[in-house]
Structure 1
Amino acid sequence: MVAGVVPVAAAQGAGGLWANAWPFPTVVVSAFLISWGAECAQFLVSQGMALAILAWLQALPEFAVEAVIAWSQQIHYMTANFTGSLRLLVGLGWPLIFGVAAFGHWRRERRLMTRIHLDEEHSVEVVALGLPIVYFLIVYFKGTLTLFDAAFLMAIYFLYLWVLKKVPPREMEEIEDLEAIPRRIMRLPRPGQVLAIALLFTGGGLLLYVAAAPFLHSMLSLAVYFGVPQFLFIQWVAPFLSEFPEKLSAMYWARQSGKASLALMNMVSANINQWTMLAAMIPIVYSFSVGAPSSIPFDEMQRREILLTVAQSMLGMLLLANMSFHVFEAGGIFVLWGLQFVRPHLHTEVTIIYFSWVAYELFMTLVVRKRLAALSAFAHIWRTHGARARGLPAPNG
């Protein structure tokens, strides 16, 4: 998909590219459909499970791009696309959510918004995000991504889903806070709700499936037409476009009152999906392409890309571990992402800054506050809902 864009762009010219603009509105429509589906589904299953389903549908373009690159055995492009995608989610996606939420808050309240508060159930996503990030430190030090790593990362993801299954759905009283279309769906009888949600997910997913490849192809062709280097658009342009559905749904929620945490968890769920299932897919597809079980070796430059990505995501996870996301935190990770984007030669320096900030957050958490709010909230969810799942009375506190 990616490698074939260059000659097509040269042949089409700008006029041909603009003539093939139909995938863009199709992707927009699909993003709204699956967003409404997830918004309604959180009243039938846990919000986290609804977002996990949403993340799978939204990630179809990114999985397709990465699979094509892995099949072609271009390891440098595999790493560039994978790490670029993850760094975009945290470095651009999270601050963008905060900015949209803050702007919406100012328009409604005429007051500045200083933080996004997370709900207790969001601790599941925060804790789940930490596991694959820590495991990828092992991948970095050994310098390979193997089928064993793939199995372990998939196990983390299925454990995450298993925990989400224990979390109860949202209270039905919150239906009145929904936008018009989801609210009307949730006022239907239960069979009608289930059917409507299934149709939203299925319809949105099918539209995205049909439009994803043409959308990426036309947009990447446009990038090449304007002279964007191939490595640059594989690391940044392709992931940005393939993550477009996630950004649309997150922005849709971020602008609404009280939905900023939902928007942020949409992005975090996508992070978890990519750190686990997307990363696991790479050696599997690579092995099928080679024709035998194979490991993916990383050279020094690729290992540096992985370490930078680990450092950024580890910082993001720790910033959310106090169950809130502050304006200066959003600004900080955006500035650092922008710095390594416009000044790639500062790669090592930015990595050091990330890890220094990580060390500061760990010191403040373990020495000053002496508690990790996300772990405490996760433990409470485990005790409460785990006991209910076993038919036992929920413990007090």
Structure 2
Amino acid sequence: MFAKLIRPLSLCGAFALPALVIRATGGETAPWLALLLFGAAVVAASFVLAWAAEAAQVDISGGLAIALLALIAVLPEYVVDLYFAYTAGQNPEFVAYAAANMTGSNRLLLGLGWSTVVLVSLAVAARRGGRRVRELVLDPEHRTELGFLAIASVVAFVVPVTGQITLLFGLALLGFFGFYLWRVSRAESEEPELVGPASVIGALSPAVRRPLVAGLFVFAAVVILLCAEPFAHALIDTGTQLGVDQFLLVQWLAPLASEAPEFIVAILFALRGNGSAAIGTLISSKVNQWTLLVGSLPLAYLVGGGSGTLVLDARQVEEFLLTATQTLLGVAALLALRFPRWAAWTLLGLFAVQFVLPGQEARYALCVVYGVIALAALVRNRAHIVPTLLAPFRRSSESAEDLVSTR
């Protein structure tokens, strides 16, 4: 049975090898070639990561497996953003880059990632069922992750209100993320429905499966960490040659490169007809970005020689406020654990508008639009607000009972 894994794993290794050789030897290539080679390595690592995360659900809870997948997939974003925050300790100009990269990646994840995954999932469901599907229904256990995101999204408004990210606030977010990992690890594991290489791994004996899954996680993490940064640089260099503004490159193209692994993994889940796991992966990514990433910025700033408090300028406050209101809309639309088609198109459309209308007034106008639609969604899903906010502090069985009672 193990022989069935040799071909897909060898293929992924072959795609990753050229980039790893270039990284190890310090070789230099043209930006377009580096973009191709390092991008191929990131894609290959994403496939391995998806197989490992699916197979891991045989031994651990699905929530913890998804959380580990999301954490590894978003590692490139941490590398880039923490580098900016660390450098800002000596060069204050990099504070703007750290804030821009963080807000850009968050809005990209929700505005483009969530929307695309939902639309792909609905298209796959419609093709299989032979009829139009209007909404993606999430599994009940995702209410816990959504609860953590709901709390984090409300707390996040402290940053634009105060205009800074303090060390104390950052440590509180890090503690909240630690609680999140502990909470999802306590959930009961269920027999997953595995396909492809993941099913082969899942059928192996525990003595073989567990070290193999751990090894695949490590391999994917190493490839992503080694290749994501040069992939981002190659993307930026290519954009610079094409005359794209540097701030926009840092805010959008670099996050697009660093978010690529989780996008690929989520789309793979969606194409297999597992839309709930796909959006669950991106919700988990949003949780760790909104807690672990934001919380780590002042710490990295302190280690780099800064005061420990990142003070944001007016532009960064606007960007953070826009990101917070977008997140609030995403949470409000999902409170009933149903992601309707209209919400996906709305998030995608509003995400696109910011490129057409990039000015300050447009950003504040978008904040108002996000807020108004979020308020309407909150009113519509008001019966699910309290169960969602309490879900992180309740046992899975209690959350499921609340879900049934609100339907």
Q: What interval of TM-score do these two structures reach, taking the shorter chain for normalisation?
A: 0.7 to 0.9
SS in 2 for 1:344: coil
In the alignment, what sits opposite 2:56?
A: 41
Q: Which of these residues, 111, 117, 123, is aligned with residue 143 of structure 2?
A: 123
Please point out which of 42, 49, 68 is paired with 1:27.
Answer: 42
| TM-superposed deviation, 1:102 | 2.3
Q: What pairs with 1:53-202 in structure 2 (closer than 5 Å)?
A: 53-73=68-88, 74-171=94-191, 174=192, 177-202=193-218
- Show the counterpart of 1:343: 357
1:378 counterpart = 2:394: no
Q: 1:58–1:243: 8 Å Cα contact kept in structure 2?
A: yes
Deviations 1:278-306 (A, max 9, x none): 11111111112225x42111122211111
| d(CA) in 2 for partners of 1:163, 1:253 | 24
Is 1:237 the counterpart of 2:257? The answer is no
The structure 1 residue matched to 2:295, chosen from 264, 269, 280, is 280
**Aligned residue type for 1:153:** L
2:164 and 2:309 in contact (8 A); partners too: yes
Task: State the partner residue of 1:4.
Answer: none
Contact 2:187 2:396 in 1 (8 A): no
Alpha-carbon spacing, 1:38–1:379, altered in 2? closer, same or farther (3 Å):
closer
Residues 148/101 of structure 1: CA separation in 2 closer, same or farther (3 Å cut): same
Paired residue secondary structure (1:72)? helix
For residues 78-132 of structure 1, the C-alpha deviation after alignment (integer angstroms, 9 at most, x for no partner) is 1111111100011000110012212222332332221111111100110010122
Distance 1:271 1:375 in 2: 16
Give the distance between the partners of 2:250 and 2:100, measured in 1 at CA: 7
1:316 to 313, 326, 330: 330
1:184-223 matches, cutoff 5 A: 184-223=200-239
241, 245, 256: which one pairs with 2:272?
256
Compared CA separation, residues 379 and 44, structure 1 to 2 (3 A): same
8 A Cα contact 1:129 1:268, kept in partner: yes
Would the aligned equivalents of 1:121 and 1:377 in 2 still touch at CA under 8 Å?
Answer: no
Q: What percent of counterpart residues are identical? A: 30
For residue 120 of structure 1, give the secondary structure of its aligned residue in structure 2: coil
In 1, Cα distance between the equivalents of 2:125 and 2:138? 16
The question of whether the paired residues in 2 share the 8 Å contact of 1:89 and 1:271 is answered with yes
After superposing the two structures, state which structure 1 stretch, 100-109 or 350-359, moved more: 100-109
Inter-partner Cα distance in structure 2 for 1:351 and 1:192: 51
Structure 2: distance between partners of 1:381 and 1:35 = 29
Q: So what's the TM-score if we normalise by structure 2? A: 0.85
* Letter in structure 2 aligned against 1:254: A
Choose 242-251 or 56-65, whichever is displaced more: 56-65
- 1:269 aligned residue: 284
SS at match of 2:381: helix
CA RMSD for the aligned pairs? 2.1
Name stretches of at least 5 consecutive residues in structure 1 with no aligned partner. 1-14, 387-395
1:383/1:333 CA distance change after superposition, 3 Å: closer
1:379 offset after TM fit, Å? 7.8
2:95–2:310: 8 Å Cα contact kept in structure 1?
yes
SS in structure 1 at match of 2:136 = strand
**Is the contact made by 2:332 and 2:381 (CA closer than 8 Å) also made in structure 1?**
no
The amino acid across from 2:107 in the alignment is R
In structure 2, what is the Cα distance between the partners aligned to 1:378 and 1:130? 10
Task: Tell me, yes or no, if the aligned pair for 2:148 and 2:389 is still in contact at 8 Å.
Answer: no
**Alpha-carbon distance in 2 for matches of 1:153, 1:295:** 14
Amino acid aligned to 1:126: L
Question: 1:49, 1:104 → 2: CA distance?
Answer: 26
Gaps of 5+ in 2: 1-28, 89-93
1:207-261 CA-to-partner distances (Å, cap 9, x unmatched) read 212212221121221111111110111111111110000100011000112x101
Alpha-carbon offset, residue 342 of structure 1: 2.1
Contact 1:93 1:247 in 2 (8 A): yes
Q: More displaced, 375-384 or 37-46?
A: 375-384
Secondary structure of the structure 1 residue equivalent to 2:339? strand
The question of whether the paired residues in 2 share the 8 Å contact of 1:321 and 1:373 is answered with no
How far off is 1:194 after superposition? 0.6
Q: Is the CA contact (8 Å cut-off) linking 1:167 and 1:381 kept in structure 2?
A: no
User: Where does residue 305 of structure 1 map in the other structure?
Assistant: 319
Residues 293-347 of structure 1 deviation map (CA, whole Å, 9 limit, x = unaligned)? 4211112221111111100001101111111100001011111111112211211
Does the C-alpha gap of structure 1 residues 59 and 376 become closer, same or farther in structure 2, counting only changes over 3 Å?
Answer: closer
Q: Which residue of 2 aligns with 1:355?
A: 371
Partner of 2:309: 295
